[in-house]
Amino acid sequence: MTQNSASFKMASNLPHLWLPYCQMKTAPFPPSAEKSVGCTIILKDGRDLIDGIASWWTACHGYCHPHIQKAVIQQVQTMPHMMFGGMIHDQAEILAHRLAKLFPDSLNHVFFSDSGSTAIEVAVKMAFQYFLNQEKPARHKLLSFHGGYHGDTWGMMNICDPEEGMHNHFREILNPQYLAHLPTDPQKKADLERFLKHKGSEIAAMIVEPLVQGAGGMLFHTRETLKILRDLCDEHDILLIYDEVFTGFGRLGEMFVSNLPEICPDIVGLSKALTGGTMGLGATIASQKIFESFLSENAEKALMHGPTFMGNPLACAAANASLDLFETEPRLEQVQKIEKQLTKELEPFRKLPHVKDIRIMGALGVVEMDHIPNPAALNQAFLKLGVWIRPFRNILYLTPSFTITSAELTKLTHAIGHVIEHEFT
């Protein structure tokens, strides 16, 4: 790619916009999206792109689903926002009820916020205060795992994998917590057990993205690994937090990983697909045991948190409409079909040069390369093929909308095959 030709427009030509994870000096000028319909993004210059990412896997029903649109329009005409301090409204109350019903009985108290990071921040705060409210201040640490990602806010950076590059500039100023390897083999299990014998009494909560660690490299582990964590948490009186911001709402084939009773967490955080890809909203769902530890005659034992836009009625209306669609349209069957097709069409790439691994779970397809020298250049190659796929580090991945047609999905997998054969030399 000739980045130095005068005609080549760069992100640095943007006078005011500052883009995420973007070296503004060297990045190519980004495409400008104008419309989104179904699984297609229509650019301002008229090009169409089949979307392989569903806007960071939020748009599970495709874009502009009329049922969600209708609910949001109705809500914007009635009451777009209302403070949640000292007041409630139907959309939030109904959504809390429906979410609680989707989880095992023990997870039944829903606290709303506005993003994935804040959903997990609230989970962490609940965990610490659970122990403080019981006069157990020794539980002042968190344990998270290599490969983990829990958001970009300051508190979350403390529990993301420090080696993953997104936050490592800040290493010296952060307040690091304990970090362990997931117990995916007997050696790592023994290491974790030994560590907890030593430090378990300091730890308030363990935090993990169950089954798939997303932004850390789309790394997979099993339910057996989660069962080990659940048992260790029980043994050491540690709370187990699942960050289901990525995995929630059917992405991996089940509605939530948390649903299996023997690996059920104490607190779970949701966001991303919660509003069907329309608006920011976070939900933190806590068990009865956690909730009860906040009940007291003492006002200071209340949960001390309250984002301005928590429980925003527009976002709750979108989330309720999204849950309607999970009930009325065959989303989980669609995920199964996508899983089969991804397996059929991505697996053959395993034998191509530079391909290190192929991983598929539900509507997530991952092609791990030995390395990707220039992810931005690959993104440009995908644009030329009419697809929106954005490599990161050594990963090419697909997290399409569940409503994607099999022809659209084939266009995405073919584009990946084409790029592997022609852009890696």
Angle, in degrees to the nearest 10, between helices 406-423 and 375-384: 130
Catalytic status, residue 272: yes
Residue from 51, 114, 161, 243 carrying the catalytic annotation: 243
Output 349 or 388, the one with its CB closest to ligand PLP.
Answer: 388
Residue 369 corresponds to which tokens in the numbers above? 């390369």
CB atoms within 10 A of CB 396: 26
Nearer to ligand PLP, 28 or 306 (CB): 306
Question: What DSSP line would sit under 88-100, residue for residue?
Answer: --HHHHHHHHHHH
Question: Pick from 89, 139, 150, 189: which binds ligand PLP (CB under 6 A)?
Answer: 150
The yes or no reply on residue 113 touching ligand PLP (CB under 6 A) is: no
Structure tokens at 13: 């030509």
Of 36, 91, 113, 117, the residue at the interface with ligand PLP (CB under 6 A) is 117
Residues in the chain: 425
> Which lies closer to ligand PLP via its Cβ, residue 214 or residue 362?
214
Question: Which of 62, 151, 311, 365: binder of ligand PLP (CB under 6 A)?
Answer: 151
Query: CA end-to-end span of the chain, whole Å?
Result: 14
CB 119 within 8 A of CB 113: yes
Smallest distance, ligand PLP to C-beta of residue 382, A: 21
- Least distance between ligand PLP and beta carbon 245 (Å): 4
Under the criterion CB under 6 A, does residue 115 sit at the interface with ligand PLP? yes
Compare residues 183 and 214 and give the one whose CB is closer to ligand PLP.
Answer: 214
Residue 40 tokens read as 């297609």
- Judged by DSSP in three states, 283 sits in strand
Q: Beta strand pairing status for 282-287 and 107-113?
A: antiparallel
Interface pick for ligand PLP out of 116, 311, 362, 365 (rule CB under 6 A): 116
Stretch that binds ligand PLP, among 207-215, 218-226, 310-318, 347-355 (CB under 6 A): 207-215
> Is residue 246 close enough to count as binding ligand PLP by CB under 6 A?
yes
| CA pseudo-torsion sign 20, 25, 31, 32 | positive
Least separation in angstroms between residue 152's CB and ligand PLP is 6
How is residue 49 written in tokens? 């792109």
List of long-range contacts for 74-83, beta carbons under 8 Å, 24+ apart: 74/317, 75/313, 75/314, 75/317, 76/314, 78/313, 79/313, 80/312, 80/313, 80/314, 81/309, 81/312, 81/313, 81/314, 82/313, 83/308
| Cβ distance to ligand PLP smaller for residue 252 or 383 | 252
DSSP of 351-420, one letter per residue? GSTTEEEEEEETTEEEEEES--S-HHHHHHHHHHTTEE---BTTEEEE---TT--HHHHHHHHHHHHHHH
Edge-first strand order for the sheet with 387-388 is 33-37, 40-43, 48-51, 387-388
Is 338 among the residues that bind ligand PLP (CB under 6 A)? no
The active-site residue out of 161, 189, 272, 397 is: 272
- Candidates 209, 339, 345, 408: give the one binding ligand PLP (CB under 6 A): 209
Residue 242 is a catalytic residue: no
21 is catalytic: yes
**Per annotation, catalytic residue among 63, 130, 149, 397:** 149
Binding track, positions 15-54, relative to ligand PLP; x by CB under 6 A = ----------------------------------------
| 161 counts as binding ligand PLP under rule CB under 6 A | no
> How many positions of this chain bind ligand PLP (CB under 6 A)?
15
Instruction: By CB under 6 A, tell whether 243 contacts ligand PLP.
Output: yes
Distance CA 123, CA 266 (A): 10
178 is a catalytic site residue: no
Please identify every residue annotated as catalytic: 21, 149, 243, 272
- What is the binding site for ligand PLP (CB under 6 A)? 115-117, 120, 149-151, 209, 214-215, 243, 245-246, 271-272
